[in-house]
Amino acid sequence: EVQLLESGGGLVQPGGSLRLSCAASGFTFRSYVMAWVRQAPGKGLEWVSTITSGIGNTYYRDSVKGRFTIFRDNSKSTLYMEMNNLRVEDTAIYYCAKAPVATGATWFDPWGQGTLVTVSS
């Protein structure tokens, strides 16, 4: 059974940093595209970033470019998101999600349970 377990969320002040982790199991992690998708409280879904398998090409939404970095450690079957210079508008539940493909544009399933990031002074 595929399992994705996020961690690393919490309360941080504007301008602060956090690193999210997503521990994966039940599949060959290195062979699949992985993504982070967020959901602000009471709002809809918003794609944040994607990383492909292999050489790990990365993609970001414009509002996080230069502040967030997605990376993966295939030896640990873990996906990460380094988040710097956090803003109030980054407050959301961050979900880790697996794609059914190794590369290319895709849909996502399954998703982890999410980790809450709150940016507030």
Other C-beta atoms lying within 10 Å of the C-beta of residue 31 = 11
Q: List 78's β-bridge partners, or say none.
A: 23, 73
* Residues 113/5, Cβ–Cβ less than 8 Å: yes
Name which of 91 and 116 has its Cβ closer to another protein: 116
Residue 20: φ, ψ to 5°: -95, 145
Name which of 113 and 120 has its Cβ closer to another protein: 113
* Cα–Cα distance, 44 to 54 (Å, whole number): 31
Which residues contribute to the site for another protein (CB under 8 A)?
Answer: 35, 44-47, 50, 59, 61-62, 95, 100, 105-114
> Minimal distance in Å, beta carbon 70 to another protein?
13
> Minimal distance in Å, beta carbon 54 to another protein?
15
> Minimal distance in Å, beta carbon 10 to another protein?
19
Tokens 């919490």 belong to 10
> Minimal distance in Å, beta carbon 11 to another protein?
20
Name which of 35 and 119 has its Cβ closer to another protein: 35
